[in-house]
Structure 1
Amino acid sequence: MPKVSEVCSHVRSKNAGPFWITLDLWFADAASFERYASAAALQPGAIARLYGVEPDLVKYFALPDLRVVKISYPRARPQGGAIERDMHGGQQYVRLLDVDL
């Protein structure tokens, strides 16, 4: 099975406000998007397990015209707290890279 890092040309994470993180996955081509965008590993339940959040709080958006999947989930703690480890959410995508599709 290919991994996210092998199928996507770019993967990033970022803040979606102080309480949410968004993952953006750009697929390399239309065929890859069609084949993998709806993979079970990218669905809310799987993302919830990967990031330790409630499945019903994960938001999934497939944008076929752009060949992009956007996934948002709530942060464990609000942005900017005293023990914040990733203020801008820019490192959260890393655990997604080795996920098998």
Structure 2
Amino acid sequence: MPKVTLSEAASVIRSKNSGPYELTLDIIFKNKEYYEAACRAKVINKGTIAGLYGISEDQVMEIVEFAPANAMKATLVRPIPSGALGETDVYGAQQHGPLLELMLEVP
């Protein structure tokens, strides 16, 4: 099967605060085919997110698939609370980078 990067398969890949102690990663796929391929392959899972972000799997709180929007969301514990001393991205808006080159097999 051919492979594409997540950045090729998705129209939106972003990160944002989900409160001061959590970070949410959103992926909105370009079409239903890419979304369904990602769901079937379980490309976005706790192990993958933990590996990409250098955290333990128990710090990945949940993975949500939302078919009406061809979207997936992962929520993880922020390593440093938003706005705390030493924290470098108050809004959590620059944390999606590790997802960009993740590979997805497509039919």
- What range describes the TM-score normalised by the shorter chain of this pair? over 0.9
Task: For residue 65 of structure 1, give the secondary structure of its aligned residue in structure 2.
Answer: helix
Partner residue of 1:6?
A: 8
Q: Which runs of 4+ in 1 moved over 6 A?
A: none
Aligned-pair identity in percent equals 35
State the Cα distance separating 1:100 from its structure 2 match: 1.4
Question: How far apart, CA to CA, are the structure 2 residues paired with 1:21 and 1:39?
Answer: 23
The answer for unaligned runs of 5 or more in structure 1 is none
TM-score (norm 2): 0.87
Partner residue of 1:79?
A: 82
State the Cα distance separating 1:41 from its structure 2 match: 3.5
1:62 equivalent to 2:65? Answer yes
- Counterparts in 2 of 1:14-29, with a 5 A limit? 14-29=16-31
The root-mean-square deviation of aligned C-alpha atoms, in Å, is 1.2
State the Cα distance separating 1:42 from its structure 2 match: 1.2
Task: For residue 81 of structure 1, give the secondary structure of its aligned residue in structure 2.
Answer: coil
Q: Deviations over 1:14-33 (max 9, x none)?
A: 00000110000000011111
Question: How far apart, CA to CA, are the structure 1 residues paired with 2:41 and 2:97?
Answer: 18
Higher strand content, 1 or 2? 2
1:99 equivalent to 2:102? Answer yes
Matched pairs, number: 101
Task: For residue 96 of structure 2, give the secondary structure of its aligned residue in structure 1.
Answer: helix
Task: For residue 69 of structure 1, give the secondary structure of its aligned residue in structure 2.
Answer: strand
Question: How far apart, CA to CA, are the structure 2 residues paired with 1:95 and 1:5?
Answer: 11
Task: For residue 83 of structure 2, give the secondary structure of its aligned residue in structure 1.
Answer: coil
Distance 1:82 1:56, change over 3 A: closer
